Amino acid sequence: MTASPASSDNVQMRTDQGNDGVVNLRDKLALFSEHWSPKVVARLNDYELKVVKLQGEFVWHSHEDTDELFLVIDGRLTIQLRDGDVALGPGEMYVVPRGVEHCPIAEGEVSAMLIEPIGVVNTGGAGGELTAAHDDRLMG
Amino acid sequence: MTASPASSDNVQMRTDQGNDGVVNLRDKLALFSEHWSPKVVARLNDYELKVVKLQGEFVWHSHEDTDELFLVIDGRLTIQLRDGDVALGPGEMYVVPRGVEHCPIAEGEVSAMLIEPIGVVNTGGAGGELTAAHDDRLMG
């Protein structure tokens, strides 16, 4: 249970079986390739922690009932807001306040962690083809 | 707003002034040196995101009303549980379920991010000299 994130059979075994409940963010990200489709990797009370890969521009939307946290793991993410852009690199996070319109855009591929209450729809009230199924999960 | 975490006057300015709301975790960690004293760096609805430096062994405690999330940024953290240990390296996280006794231990210095509801006391019901003031914050 002490293997480094990037190596060893133990880590792989742990990712697949997850018996000990440890979540290695990069291991989870390695399990899928699609963009704009958040995957739930852990639950904290009535919140979910998700990993997501982003590339290109999303849709303008807002979440009327909740703040939304973006923590960039790899790459550079711009969160467009109506009054300016926020640029995030690895290890940087930003909370989009509830009700604030935003549109993420990633020039290259970006990996990020999101924290949201259970049941939040990724496109907020905007809908459309980028709306992700809510039951995608990479738990345990 | 696109500077790398480790360099540039822009980052320092941003850390001190924080006008754009971007939180660089390593910049925040560089602002203090004490151990076992979580610092609030962002708020998400009624939750707080905190950074903390850990070294040595904490106290056994539990939080009866909430889960607690540990995400290791640097170093190696062992979370002792009554039925075994959980070992975390950088980029790995673990949710201690509510009511579960745990005791973090760090052989070297560990930097981590915590996510908890506003108002959680670090020592849970155990109290003692390691209980941190709740109003420590490095916001904005």
Written as one string, the DSSP assignment of chain B is ----TT--HHHHHHHHH-TT--EEHHHHHTT---SS--EEEEEETTEEEEEEEEEEE---B--TT--EEEEEEES-EEEEETTEEEEE-TTEEEEEPTT--EEEEEEEEEEEEEEEETT--TTTT--STTPPPTT-B---
CATH architecture of A33-117: Sandwich (2.60)
| Lowest model confidence (mean pLDDT) among A123-137, B7-21, B64-78, B121-135 | B7-21
Q: Which of A49, A87, A95 is closest, CB to CB, to B43? A: A95
Tell me which fold the domain B34-117 belongs to.
Jelly Rolls (2.60.120)
Asked if the C-beta of A65 comes within 8 angstroms of chain B's C-beta atoms, the answer is: no
Band the pLDDT of B133: cuts 50, 70, 90.
low
Say yes or no for a CB contact (<8 Å) between B42 and A89: no
CA distance B49 to B58: 20
The DSSP call for residue A35 is S
Which residue of B1, B47, B85 is in closest CB contact with A87? B1
Query: Which of A5, A67, A89 lies closest to B4 in CB terms?
Result: A89
Domains of chain B, by residue range, sit at 1-31, 34-117
Comparing CB atoms, the residue among A44, A86, A88 nearest residue B69 is: A44
Closest Cα to residue B20, out of B30, B10, B35, B31?
B10
Residue A126: what pLDDT? 79
Task: Place A136 in a pLDDT band, splitting at 50, 70 and 90.
Answer: low
Which residues between 76 and 135 in chain B have a beta carbon less than 8 angstroms from any beta carbon of chain A?
A: 76, 84-95, 98, 115, 117
pLDDT at residue number A37? 93
ipTM of this predicted complex? 0.81
Q: What's the confidence (pLDDT) of residue B19? A: 56
Q: Please state the pTM of the whole predicted model.
A: 0.82
Chain B contact present for A66, CB below 8 A: yes
Q: From B42, which residue of chain A is nearest by alpha-carbon distance?
A: A95
Residues 15-34 of A with CB under 8 A from B: 20-26
Are the beta carbons of A21 and B86 separated by less than 8 Å? Answer: yes
| Residue with more model confidence, B20 or A49 | A49
Task: Select from A25, A12, A30, A4 the least CA-distant residue to A90.
Answer: A25
Phi, psi of B12 (to 5 degrees): -60, -45
